[in-house]
Structure 1
Amino acid sequence: MRNMLIVAGGVVAVAAIAAGVYFGTRPPAAGPTPVAVAAAPDKTALLAVQPTDHVLGDPKAPITLIEYASFTCPHCAHFHTQILPEIKKKWIDTGKVKLIYRDFPLDQVAAKAAQIAECAPNDRYFGIIDLIFRGQPQWAASQDPIAELGKPLRIAGMGENEIKACLANEAKANEVINDYRGGETLGVNSTPSLFINGTLYKGARSVEELDAAFAKLAK
């Protein structure tokens, strides 16, 4: 499903969409104990809204949820299709939590999908990534994932020509790369990785776990 090279019992990073930069293929973690991130100056900035960030909800919401995800990660798809709708209804739509979505592609296919999503207008970005995650079982497992991904994106106004132009857009590629590098700076090495007001939660999390984390901060 992914362009991975398996050697000596390990997984080797695949070629990236820009020279000199790689996206490593790493398995998702299983939800270890949350860890507070040290507040170095560069890390502090990354734990706040950046100019290029995609934000769901009120940007002034007191609780900040940052998600680092890969479009070929099944756990990320589960979060977006099964967990996020409940979180959105209870916490984001009520103005208590804002979600910042950032790319951390685990392989070249995920990197290209992320680049395509970056070409979506801001007001349609989260609708596009919802389409991508919901269709993941079909397009990610196909022989030509990007061509297959293009099928559901047509209804969002992204045809073959738009996708080709997007994949040739160096600025959009750099946005994905910058997200990835920022994630590495914060200690991200698997997906999904969630930061809730600066505390790192690795791996799949239930609605109940996230409810509890938000409730503590909302007091």
Structure 2
Amino acid sequence: MKAVSGLALIAISLSLAACGGKSEDAAKPTGDPIATVAAPAGTTWSDTIADSPEGYYLMGNPSAKIKLVEYGSYTCSHCKDFSVEASEEIRKIVDSGRMSFEFRPYVRDPIDLTAALLARCGGKDIFYPLSEQFFANQEAMFAKVQASEAALKAVEQLPAAQRPGGIANAAGLVEFAQQRGISADQAKQCLSNTAAAEKLAKGVESANSQYNISGTPSFLINGVLVDNVANWSSLQAKLKEAGI
């Protein structure tokens, strides 16, 4: 299970990991219940977003005792289900100051890459709500892709750096992003950013190398891949074991 370069990912359709697969490593955190930590006056932890050392966006208390990471794919139905079920619950826990949350896009195909580039286009302050809206729009996006076969065939003839833009138009994602505050020019710039595409692909390579990701969504609790967890109820049980 190896990732390819960002430009190669733009050019071909591939699956780097199954949607809904399971990991082999187990995280077994134990400990006493963790005390809440108040956010700075006038703020909430779930609205506190910072750049993480790995190049993603971390939500919440940077010093939280529990650090939850999700590797998820914008084209994975299980990831969509998790987003719909868990996003508000995760925010509630993050607001307690006991846990931080970090979503790391795990790109599996060119449509996934396109969505990931657009989700980051508005910067850290809207990354999480925009990601949740991309997941909620997943079925509509697939419907537009299926109805745009000719347009997608034409995209294959474009230079590699232009293909995410062509895919985004065929999938209705540029218009979708515009309705959420990202201008057409801004979207075009983000979609043609080959350095950002390469960075996302390298993030997948790193995840595969370090954690042997076999499916999405996959979760880390304090840096350890959690076994047999792909939905909120299973993850919630693991967080309770960790003291949440």
What range describes the TM-score normalised by the shorter chain of this pair?
0.7 to 0.9
Equivalent of 1:180 in 199, 204, 221: 204
For 1:136, the equivalent position in structure 2 comes to: 138
Report the 3-state secondary structure (helix = DSSP H, G, I; strand = E; otherwise coil) of the residue aligned with 1:141: helix
The one-letter code matched in structure 2 to 1:70 is: S
Q: 1:128 to 1:20 in 2, by over 3 A?
A: closer
Identity of aligned residues (%): 25
For 1:117, the equivalent position in structure 2 comes to: 119
For 2:19, the equivalent position in structure 1 comes to: 28
In structure 1, list runs of 5 or more residues that go unmatched: 1-11, 38-48
C-alpha RMSD of the superposition: 2.9
Q: 1:138 to 1:20 in 2, by over 3 A?
A: closer
Q: 1:20 to 1:81 in 2, by over 3 A?
A: closer
The worse-fitting range, judged by mean Cα deviation, of 122-131 and 137-146 is 137-146
For 2:231, the equivalent position in structure 1 comes to: 205
The structure whose Rg is larger is: 2
The separation in 2 between residues aligned to 1:92 and 1:29, in whole angstroms, is: 25
Contact 1:118 1:172 in 2 (8 A): no
How far apart are 1:187 and its partner, in Å?
0.8
Q: 1:161 to 1:15 in 2, by over 3 A?
A: farther
How far apart are 1:13 and its partner, in Å?
9.3
The separation in 2 between residues aligned to 1:15 and 1:210, in whole angstroms, is: 30
How far apart are 1:15 and its partner, in Å?
8.2
The separation in 2 between residues aligned to 1:86 and 1:138, in whole angstroms, is: 25
Structure with the larger RCO, 1 or 2 (CA within 8 Å, 6+ apart): 2
The separation in 2 between residues aligned to 1:13 and 1:175, in whole angstroms, is: 15
**2:137 aligned with 1:146:** no
Report the 3-state secondary structure (helix = DSSP H, G, I; strand = E; otherwise coil) of the residue aligned with 2:67: strand
The separation in 2 between residues aligned to 1:15 and 1:160, in whole angstroms, is: 28
**2:219 aligned with 1:194:** yes
**2:113 aligned with 1:87:** no
Structure (1/2) with the larger strand percentage: 1
Report the 3-state secondary structure (helix = DSSP H, G, I; strand = E; otherwise coil) of the residue aligned with 2:68: strand
The one-letter code matched in structure 2 to 1:83 is: A
Q: 1:157 to 1:84 in 2, by over 3 A?
A: closer
Equivalent of 1:68 in 60, 68, 71: 71
Report the 3-state secondary structure (helix = DSSP H, G, I; strand = E; otherwise coil) of the residue aligned with 1:204: coil
Contact 2:21 2:216 in 1 (8 A): no
Contact 1:56 1:98 in 2 (8 A): yes
The one-letter code matched in structure 2 to 1:188 is: I
In structure 2, list runs of 5 or more residues that go unmatched: 29-51, 149-166
- Number of residue pairs the alignment of both structures matches: 195
How far apart are 1:69 and its partner, in Å?
0.7
**2:191 aligned with 1:167:** yes
The separation in 2 between residues aligned to 1:17 and 1:32, in whole angstroms, is: 25
Structure 1 length-normalised TM: 0.77
